[in-house]
Amino acid sequence: RHYDYDHDEL
Amino acid sequence: MNIFRLAGDMTHLVSVLVLLLKIHTIKSCAGISLKTQELYALVFTTRYLDLFTDYISLYNTVMKLIFLGSSFSIVWYIRRHKIVRRSYDKDQDTFRHYFIVLPCLVLALLIHHKFTFKEVMWTFSLYLEAVAILPQLVLLQRTRNIDNLTGQYVFLLGAYRALYILNWIYRHYTEPHYVHWITWIAGIVQTLLYADFFYYYFQSWKNNVKLQLPA
């Protein structure tokens, strides 16, 4: 699956 | 943004600001591990590399800048401030940086989602954050007598991690493709490290006695 985590957490 | 995430971020923010304010006002860093603070500065530096490349929200950017600024300020106070640095107990704070940093770096090089510089650094920061509290916990164990502010600082940090776990559970059920096992495992390990401390913290609070850790 395409990895698309946008790192919106701190 | 859900309530657990916001509460977690606020707890984290308060923990760092409490520490900075304490050092600034009483001009003492007694009981605080410089090693842990340096590791946190490294955690934020390697995690927030995307500050220059991606924009998520104003909230996100401001919080990142606060965490970077406060962690480097704390390190500066302990190392350079002419009064504060005298209260730093170097002989008790003996944990070796590389003992923590190297395994995390190796792990990040081996286990990550994507093999890019930014992504590996981000993964490294997660692993490092999970164990960065260790020098502080060792220092607490050694000195045993813990002043209220140091106790509260560690308690707030632990609470922040626990709230983030609730946030992940919430997001997992509300966002269709929210599966981030690296973040979760590192976060759970980190929270477990506080379990022992939490136990004694609540005991002391319940019995209304000064917090002391067993030798």
B159-191: pLDDT as tens digits: 999 999 999 999 989 987 777 889 999 999 999
b/e code A1-10 from CB counts within 10 Å (16+ = b): eeeebebebb
CA dihedral B182, B185, B187, B193 (to 10 degrees): -140
pLDDT at residue B214, rounded to an integer:
79
pLDDT at B66 over 50: yes
pLDDT at B158 over 50: yes
- Taking an 8 Å cut-off on Cβ atoms, the answer to whether B60 and A8 are in contact is yes
Task: Write down the mean pLDDT value for chain B.
Answer: 93
Q: Which is more confident, A2 or B33?
A: B33
pLDDT at residue A1, rounded to an integer:
45
**Nearest alpha carbon to residue A6 among B176, B166, B64, B178:** B178
- Taking an 8 Å cut-off on Cβ atoms, the answer to whether B56 and A7 are in contact is yes
Chain B partners within 8 Å of A8 (Cβ): 56-57, 60
Cβ–Cβ < 8 Å for B108, B169: no
Interchain CB contact of B183 with A (< 8 Å): yes
pLDDT at B129 over 90: yes
Range name among B2-6, B40-44, B106-110, B202-206 with the lowest pLDDT average: B202-206
pLDDT at residue B26, rounded to an integer:
94
What does the pLDDT average to over B137-155?
85
Q: How far is CA B37 from CA B114, B132, B159, in A?
A: 28, 8, 18
d(CA B84, CA B64): 26
Q: How far is CA B141 from CA A10, B31, B180, in A?
A: 29, 10, 33
pLDDT at A5 over 70: no
pLDDT at B202 over 60: yes
How distant is the alpha carbon of residue B102 from its chain centre? 18
Confidence tier at B208 by pLDDT (50, 70, 90): confident
- Taking an 8 Å cut-off on Cβ atoms, the answer to whether B56 and A10 are in contact is no
**Helix, strand or coil, per DSSP, at residue B124:** helix
What does the pLDDT average to over B82-91?
94
- Taking an 8 Å cut-off on Cβ atoms, the answer to whether B54 and A6 are in contact is yes
- % of chain B beyond a pLDDT of 90: 77
B34-47 and B117-131 helices, crossing angle to 10°: 150
pLDDT at residue B101, rounded to an integer:
98
Angle at Cα B153 formed by Cα B3 and Cα B75, nearest 5°? 110
pLDDT at residue B73, rounded to an integer:
98
Measured in degrees and rounded to the nearest 5, phi and psi for residue B144 equal 60, -50
Q: Give me the interface pTM, i.e. the ipTM.
A: 0.81
pLDDT at residue B44, rounded to an integer:
98
B117-131 and B181-193 helices, crossing angle to 10°: 20
Confidence tier at B51 by pLDDT (50, 70, 90): very high
